[in-house]
Structure 1
Amino acid sequence: MSTSLSKEQRDFHRMAINAPATVVYVRDDQMQRMAATCKDLGATGVSLQVAEPLQEGDPIEVVIKGLNVQPLDVKAKVLRVETLANGEYLIGCAATSVR
């Protein structure tokens, strides 16, 4: 029962925004950027749809630029990576700081 409650609490604090975003990460000692869609944003995390997979544990920076929101800069850690039916990936991340 407590698992259900915590999921409900988490869902309650999430906003679906479908906003364009840029993901910045390091691969082979090189800074990389890729386009993403921020699917939702919550007090403790963010989910992103991307064309290339990231690795669980990767530290990333996400810059979200929506039409109805001010740009937001989120530092996060990748928690999970799910392959979608269209061949893209859904990345679930825990926010470590928000500016």
Structure 2
Amino acid sequence: MKGYDDKRNFYRMMLNSEVAVTVIDDEVNTTITATCRDLSATGMAFEIDHPLSISTQVKVKVDSASSQVQALDVSGRVVRIEEESANCYLIGIAIEEID
């Protein structure tokens, strides 16, 4: 692919959509609202106001803007955490399953 600088196998779609992130825990599953920044076939990045631990299992639901397109539900694990500013963390997940 000429001019393709990103060395990824899949293109990344840039988003700015609200998503529901459920942190999977043995005791309590907690759902938080986050902002999805980007999405590809194998991963996703979203921003939240607190960090998550590497390898944390999560489920993410991306609602569709159209009633004709089904919402996206994915399961994955945290593989990257970047503190962007006070109370703003960019969390990268590897998608392991699409429901």
TM-score of the superposed pair, with normalisation by structure 2: 0.82
User: Out of 40, 59, 62, which is 2:60 matched to?
Assistant: 62
User: Aligned-pair distance for 1:28?
Assistant: 6.5
Matched residue type, 2:81 = V
5+ residue gaps, structure 1, are none
Task: Rate the CA distance shift 1:50–1:92 in 2: closer, same or farther, 3 A.
Answer: same
User: Aligned-pair distance for 1:87?
Assistant: 2.3
User: Out of 1, 25, 37, which is 1:39 matched to?
Assistant: 37
Task: Rate the CA distance shift 1:11–1:36 in 2: closer, same or farther, 3 A.
Answer: farther
For residues 6 and 16 of structure 2, the distance between their equivalents in structure 1, rounded to whole angstroms, comes to 21
Q: Which runs of 4+ in 1 moved over 2 A?
A: 66-70
> What residue number does 1:90 align with?
90
Matched residue type, 1:37 = T
Show CA shifts across 1:54-79 (max 9, x none): 11000100001242563110101100
Residues 1:50 and 2:56 are matched in the alignment: no
Alpha-carbon contact 2:14-2:39 (below 8 Å) kept? yes
Give the CA RMSD over aligned residues. 2.2
User: Out of 3, 8, 11, which is 2:6 matched to?
Assistant: 8
Count of aligned residue pairs for this structure pair? 94
- 3-state SS, counterpart of residue 6 of structure 2: helix
- 3-state SS, counterpart of residue 65 of structure 2: coil
Q: How high is the sequence identity, in percent, across the aligned residues?
A: 33
- 3-state SS, counterpart of residue 39 of structure 2: strand
Matched residue type, 1:31 = N
TM-score of the superposed pair, with normalisation by structure 1: 0.82
5+ residue gaps, structure 2, are none
Show CA shifts across 1:30-61 (max 9, x none): 11010001100001100011112111000100
For residues 89 and 61 of structure 1, the distance between their equivalents in structure 2, rounded to whole angstroms, comes to 17
Higher helix share: 1
